Amino acid sequence: MTEHPSLDGIHVPLITPLTADGRIAADSLEELAHAVLAAGATGIVALGTTAEAATLDSDERTAVVEVCARVCRERGATLIIGAGGNDTRASAAALAACRRWPVAAAALVQVPSFTRPSAAGVLAHFTRLAERSPLPLIVYHVPYRTAQPLDVTTLRALGRLPMVIGVKLAVGGIDQDTVELLGDPPPGFAVLAGDDLFVSPLLALGAAGAILASAHLATERFVELAAAWRVGDVVRARALGHGLARLSAAAFGEPNPTVIKGVLHARGLVPTPDVRLPLLPAGRAALDATLSRLAEVAGGPAKPDERARPNEPAWLDERAWLDERAWLDERALPNKPARPTGKADPAGLAHAANPAVPGDPS
């Protein structure tokens, strides 16, 4: 049996910083990659949607991956490369080109958009890619971008393909298919939270990790959140989760990655807040709101939610649905569930923002 890489933990889909004349700011990209990994992120994603990959030409795409590959090689971190589209042949060619980066652990491949194939067509698409790809595949399921819903039966079928090792799940909430998939995923198939706003409940339900644009900001806090759910520290996880949800909501107040780029620029981490058309830079109000939320979550240890009642069983708490141990396992439903016993960060990327400084899923 082929051993595939673990996808546990927080993965940051890096932005593509730009210079004032519109070129890729490679030095800033490298510093960002080092900073989020130094703050505890498991890995980074090159050429995700947060990177504005659709606006990069071939040479620029290669340059971005080269930087990310070099950093991951130096730090022993996980590199995921965004590849593919709605054409199976072109997607296979893009995946084949990833051979030049042996450090890459997996490729993130979106469900085909626009052509809107049937569920059987989506399965055939990924079957063909899995047969030809040099890298294991992570399905990027984001129906509000692709207009292609997939039910739990299809997601499980994808997860049983030999070279498909996970899914970035970004369905815009937590629906029945999400709950069913997390309750019984195929063996070796990692479900990664892809909706920043819902990362905490998805981790509580059993997601292995997450791919989050918001984790450019307060990286250490997102890492702490994943760790808290992993060890069953419900009180701490809830406190972190609520604060990070507010941060994520602010960071997505305008189209991603405009706000994140603006905040990073306000903090001196990238040379400009610029994005490429058809995106426009974020407005001042969105930046101020995000800087304020960032200061709240990154300024010190997270405080337990005042409404939490740590001395009472979780099933008595009206918010206990956040903890998958309390209800996800259908076999536990008849009874009350039992409680489970490198390079420095030069600008403090993972720490508090200075709120006085002006300033779609990943």
Question: Is the distance from CB of 271 to CB of 265 less than 8 angstroms?
Answer: yes
Tokens of 312: 């009472």
Question: Is the distance from CB of 202 to CB of 170 less than 8 angstroms?
Answer: no
HSE on the CB side for 49, CA within 13 Å? 20
Of the candidates 144, 168, 261, 343, the residue annotated as catalytic is 168
How far apart are the C-alpha atoms of 247 and 131, rounded to whole Å?
Answer: 40
The dihedral of CA 144, 208, 309, 236: what is its sign?
negative
Active-site residue flag, 144: no
How far apart are the C-alpha atoms of 323 and 57, rounded to whole Å?
Answer: 44
How far apart are the C-alpha atoms of 310 and 232, rounded to whole Å?
Answer: 12
**Could you give phi then psi for residue 258, rounded to 5 degrees?**
-65, -45
Containing H/E element for 164? Answer: strand 164-169
Which amino acid is residue 192, in one-letter code? L
Active-site residue flag, 140: yes
Closest Cα partner for 199 from 176, 170, 179? 170
Sole residue written with tokens 């990177």:
51
Of the candidates 140, 261, 336, 343, the residue annotated as catalytic is 140
How far apart are the C-alpha atoms of 314 and 339, rounded to whole Å?
Answer: 7
Instruction: Give catalytic residue positions.
Output: 140, 168
